[in-house]
Amino acid sequence: MTGHEAGASAILWRHWQRRERLRELPDASRPRTREDGYRVQALLERRSATPLYGWKIAATSKAGQAHIAVDGPMAGRLLRERVVHDGGRVPFQGNHMRVAEAEFAFRMGIDLPPRPAPYHAREVVAAAATLHPAIEVPDSRYEDFTLVGAAQLIADNACADYFVLGPPAPDEWRSVDLAAHRVAGRVNDGPWREGLGANVLGDPREALAWLVNELSQLGITLAAGQVVTTGTCLVPLAVEPGDHVLADFGTLGRVHAWLDA
């Protein structure tokens, strides 16, 4: 750890706690590469009083990557204190992005440690204990997160904020073609918006493999019990304080939450 990384982490943490935003990190502490960004992000985990809950993947679609001007996905940490139970209330005051995302999430059954050879999707899916419908409610500490670039976004935890985990899907999920599986979401009594698992790096199982390999390259083990949420299956739902969000994964279950004013 360098003083630059510690400084960047302290600035982001302070803005996160106060629900304030900044234009970008000061030049002296600004990460220049993805690896720099991940080192700053790792310091965020140390500020949590509880073990790491899991991981998220941001920018899993070409449209999402184009929107924030990055050339590939990014990993972020899910902090346990920012996880809400299905049907619970998500603290939403000060949220800047104001979207909710319907996502496939996997809870891991065994450790997947770093190794030289890449992991294949079939290996990581076999290592998963359960599949869950989930809702991510992201946010950014930057005034305009579309302009700061991948390194600063990764430092800011890849726009991770709150996360809602639904109940485990029936065991038959392993025989379901998740890429072709339809997912729908809506806000309050508004119209349904539909998407497919294929919107997540082509297949949520491939997204899970991407995350494992990203961590492997960083020397990090994806641990048993941790949850990985793989990215939005549909165009993010615009939300406001007080809204109710429902994500319907058909035979794989539903998940919902309220956004506290």
Mean pLDDT of 177-203: 98
* Per-residue model confidence (pLDDT) at position 64: 80
As to burial, measured by CB atoms within 10 angstroms (0-12 exposed, 13-18 middle, 19+ buried), residue 15 is middle
pLDDT at 142: 97
Please give, one letter per residue, the 3-state secondary structure of the chain. Answer: CCHHHHHHHHHHHHHHHHCCCECCCCHHHCCCCHHHHHHHHHHHHHCCCCCCCEEEEECCCHHHHHHCCCCCCEEEEECHHHEEECCCEEECCCCCCCEEEEEEEEEECCCECCCCCCCCHHHHHHHEEEEEEEEEECCCCECCCCCCCHHHHHHCHHHCCEEEECCCCCHHHHHCCCCCCEEEEEECCCCCEEEEHHHCCCCHHHHHHHHHHHHHHCCCCECCCCEEEEEECCCCEECCCCCEEEEECHHHCEEEEEEEC
| Superfamily of segment(s) 3-260 | Fumarylacetoacetase-like, C-terminal domain (3.90.850.10)
Read off the pLDDT band of 67 (50, 70, 90): confident
Residue 1: predicted pLDDT: 56
With 0.85 as the threshold, say if the pTM is over it. Answer: yes
HSE, side-chain direction, 13 A CA sphere, residue 248: 9
Q: For residue 204, is pLDDT > 60? A: yes
- Residue-wise pLDDT for 130-185, tens only, equals 999 999 999 999 999 999 999 999 999 999 999 999 999 999 999 999 999 999 99
Sequence spans of domains, the chain: 3-260
